[in-house]
Amino acid sequence: MNGAPTMRAHSQQDIRAADVDLRVISHAERDRLHGRACARCGAPSPHRPAGYAFAVGRDGGRLGWPVRVCSNCPTSGG
C-alpha cells in the first residue's frame, strides 16, 4: 500500500489523513468520499473543495477522491 497509513473502518478522523480501505469502509467514510459529508468533521452539508482523499482498492492500487469540507473546517490539514 505504498507505505501510507490505512484508515480503520468507523474512524472519526479527517478522511484525508490516511488511506481508506475500500474493503472495510463504513457508511460515514463513504459519505465523506462521495462529498455528501465534510471530509474533516462529517457534517452533512459540505460545500467547498478540499483536495483529495485516497482509498486502497482490492488490487492494492490507490484511488484519489475529490472531497469537500463544511464552512467551519479548514480546507487543508489533517
The answer on pLDDT for 51 being more than 60 is yes
Only one residue has cell 468533521, namely 41
Q: Determine the pLDDT at residue 29.
A: 92
Q: In the chain, how many domains are there? A: 1
Q: Tell me whether residue 75 is in a domain.
A: no
The answer on pLDDT for 5 being more than 60 is no
Q: What are phi and psi of 19, to 5 degrees?
A: -65, 140
Q: Determine the pLDDT at residue 32.
A: 94
pTM: 0.76
Task: Decide if 9 contacts 21 (C-beta within 8 A).
Answer: yes
Q: Tell me whether residue 26 is in a domain.
A: yes
Q: Tell me whether residue 76 is in a domain.
A: no
pLDDT in tens, 6-47: 544 434 689 999 999 988 999 999 999 999 999 999 999 778
**Mean pLDDT on 41-63:** 90
Element (H, E) at 19: strand 19-21
Q: What are phi and psi of 29, to 5 degrees?
A: -65, -40
Nearest-5° angle of CA 60, CA 66, CA 71? Answer: 135
The answer on pLDDT for 74 being more than 50 is yes
Task: Decide if 15 contacts 33 (C-beta within 8 A).
Answer: yes
By residue range, what is the domain housing residue 18? 6-69
